[in-house]
C-alpha cells in the first residue's frame, strides 16, 4: 500500500544517532567518524535511501528543472531542438519541463508565469509568432531565472541566444535559384514579427539586388510557418498573371504546402517552378521531387542553448557577458530546385 520513501530521520532512529549525523555522514563530512559513516552508508544503501529533492529544492531554492517553451512540440524542428536540450540537461542532472505556446502570445505569457511560480531554474524559449511584447521574459530575469532564446529570438531582451545565420542561408538559397536561371523568384516569408522572418526576407532581397533582379511586390507574400499557409500562398502566387518561376519558402513546413499545391495544380518541379525551403526537415528529402532546403542543425541548437542556460544558472550572480551564437546553415540542393540551365 505504498511504502513511504525512507527519510534521513528513519535512518537516524534506527542507528540511534541524530539526523544531523546522518546527513553529514551521507555527505561524507570530515567531522563524522569513519565507523559511523560506514554504518550510515550501509543502512542507507540497504534501505535504498535517496534524498528527497523537494526538500532540497525548498532549502536551496533550486529545482534542477529547466523549462522550455516552443510554439509546437509536434513540429519536427522544435522536437529535435527539445531533444538537444534534453540531451545536455539530462547529462548535467537537470530535468526538462515542456510548455507549448501554440504561437499565441497570451499562452506564452501564461507559460512564462507558470515557470516562475514553479521555480524552474531557467528557461529556454523560441518565440511565438504573435509575440511582440517581451516583459514576461524580463520578469523572469528579474526573479533571477535566466532565459536563453533559440531560433526565434528578440533584440528586446539581452541574454544568450542561439540561432543560425538566417540572412546568409536565405541569401544563398536565393542565389542558388538565380544561378539555376530563375528570374521570377517569389518569396513566402514568415510572420513579420519574428526576426527570423525578417532576416530571411532580407537575405532574399539582397541576393535579388546583388544580381540586379527585379523584385515584385506581389511575389513577396507572408504566411504562418505551417503547411496550410504554404498551400494557400502557392495558389495565390500561381494565380498571378505574371507567374513566378521559383519560390523560396521561409520554412520547410511552408514549402511542404507549396509542394503539395504545385503538384495539385499540375506544375512540374523544377521545370515549371523551382522550390526551396528552410530547415531541412527529415521528410523534405523524401518528397518527390526531393525538396531543396537550407539545413539548420536543430539538435545542436538545442544543445547549445541548454549549455548556455546551465552556465547562467550555475554562475548566478556572477555577471557574464551575453553572447549570440550563430551556427552555420547548409544549403541542401535537391531536385526541386535543380532547374536545367537553358
Partner DNA sequence: ATTTTTTACGAAAACGATTGAATGGCTCGG
Partner DNA sequence: CCGAGCCATTCAATCGTTTTCGTAAAAAAT
Smallest gap from Cβ 202 to a second copy, in A, equals: 29
Instruction: Report how far Cα 102 is from the mean position of its chain's Cα atoms.
Output: 14
**What is the distance between the alpha carbons of residues 29 and 10, in angstroms, rounded to a whole number?**
20
Full DSSP string of 164-231: E-HHHHHHHHHHHHHHTT--SEEEEE--TTSHHHHHHHHHHHHHHHHTTPPP-GGGEEE--SSHHHHH
Q: From the list 38, 42, 46, 61, which residue makes contact with DNA (rule: CB under 7 A)?
A: 61
3 binds a second copy (CB under 8 A): yes
**What is the distance between the alpha carbons of residues 99 and 43, in angstroms, rounded to a whole number?**
40
Q: In this complex, which beta carbon is closest to DNA, that of residue 9 or of residue 316?
A: 9
Smallest gap from Cβ 17 to a second copy, in A, equals: 23
**What is the distance between the alpha carbons of residues 115 and 108, in angstroms, rounded to a whole number?**
10
212 binds a second copy (CB under 8 A): no
271 binds a second copy (CB under 8 A): no
User: Which stretch in 30-38, 117-125, 150-158, 242-250 sits in contact with a second copy by CB under 8 A?
Assistant: 117-125
26 binds DNA (CB under 7 A): yes
3-state secondary structure of 96: strand
Q: Binding partner of residue 104 among a second copy, DNA, none, CB under 5 to 8 Å per kind? A: none
For helices 76-91 and 298-314, give the axis angle rounded to 10 degrees. Answer: 40
Helix extents (H) in 217-332: 227-238, 252-265, 298-314
Q: From the list 1, 2, 27, 45, which residue makes contact with DNA (rule: CB under 7 A)?
A: 27
Q: In this complex, which beta carbon is closest to DNA, that of residue 54 or of residue 341?
A: 54
Q: Binding partner of residue 7 among a second copy, DNA, none, CB under 5 to 8 Å per kind? A: DNA
Question: For residues 145 and 116, is the Cβ–Cβ distance under 8 A?
Answer: yes
Q: In this complex, which beta carbon is closest to a second copy, that of residue 50 or of residue 321?
A: 50
3-state secondary structure of 27: coil
Q: From the list 38, 46, 55, 158, which residue makes contact with DNA (rule: CB under 7 A)?
A: 55
Q: Would you tell me which residues interact with DNA (CB under 7 A)?
A: 4-5, 7-9, 16-21, 23-24, 26-27, 31-33, 35-36, 49-52, 54-56, 58-59, 61
Amino acid at each position: 500500500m505504498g511504502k513511504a520513501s525512507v527519510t534521513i530521520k528513519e535512518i537516524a532512529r534506527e542507528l540511534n544517532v541524530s539526523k544531523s549525523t546522518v546527513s553529514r555522514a551521507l555527505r561524507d563530512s570530515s567531522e563524522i567518524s569513519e565507523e559511523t559513516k560506514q554504518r550510515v552508508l550501509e543502512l542507507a544503501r540497504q534501505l535504498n535511501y535517496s534524498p528527497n529533492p523537494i526538500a532540497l529544492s525548498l532549502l536551496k531554492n533550486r529545482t534542477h528543472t529547466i523549462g522550455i517553451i516552443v510554439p509546437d512540440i509536434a513540429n519536427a524542428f522544435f522536437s529535435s531542438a527539445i531533444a538537444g536540450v534534453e540531451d545536455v540537461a539530462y547529462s548535467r542532472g537537470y530535468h526538462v519541463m515542456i510548455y507549448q505556446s501554440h504561437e499565441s502570445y497570451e499562452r506564452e505569457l501564461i507559460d512564462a508565469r507558470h515557470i516562475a511560480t514553479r521555480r524552474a531554474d531557467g528557461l529556454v524559449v523560441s518565440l511565438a509568432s504573435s509575440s511582440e511584447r517581451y516583459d514576461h521574459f524580463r520578469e523572469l530575469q528579474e526573479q533571477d531565472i535566466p532565459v536563453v532564446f533559440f531560433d526565434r529570438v528578440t533584440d528586446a531582451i539581452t541574454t544568450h541566444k542561439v540561432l543560425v545565420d538566417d540572412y546568409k542561408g536565405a541569401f544563398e538559397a536565393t542565389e542558388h535559384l538565380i544561378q539555376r536561371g530563375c528570374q521570377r523568384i517569389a518569396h513566402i516569408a514568415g510572420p513579420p514579427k519574428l526576426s527570423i522572418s525578417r532576416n530571411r526576407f532580407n537575405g532574399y532581397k539582397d541576393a535579388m539586388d546583388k544580381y540586379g533582379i527585379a523584385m515584385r511586390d506581389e511575389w513577396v507574400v507572408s504566411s504562418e510557418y505551417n503547411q496550410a499557409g504554404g498551400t494557400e500562398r502557392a495558389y495565390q502566387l500561381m494565380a498571378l498573371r505574371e507567374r513566378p518561376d521559383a519560390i523560396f519558402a521561409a520554412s520547410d513546413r511552408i514549402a511542404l504546402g507549396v509542394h503539395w499545391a504545385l503538384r495539385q495544380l499540375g506544375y512540374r518541379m523544377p521545370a515549371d517552378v523551382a522550390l526551396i525551403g528552410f530547415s531541412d526537415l527529415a521528410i523534405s528529402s523524401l518528397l518527390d521531387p526531393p525538396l531543396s532546403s537550407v539545413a539548420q542543425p536543430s539538435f545542436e541548437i538545442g544543445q547549445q542553448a541548454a549549455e548556455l542556460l546551465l552556465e547562467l544558472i550555475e554562475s548566478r550572480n556572477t555577471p557574464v557577458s551575453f553572447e549570440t551564437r550563430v551556427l552555420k546553415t547548409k544549403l541542401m540542393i535537391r531536385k526541386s530546385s535543380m532547374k536545367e540551365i537553358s
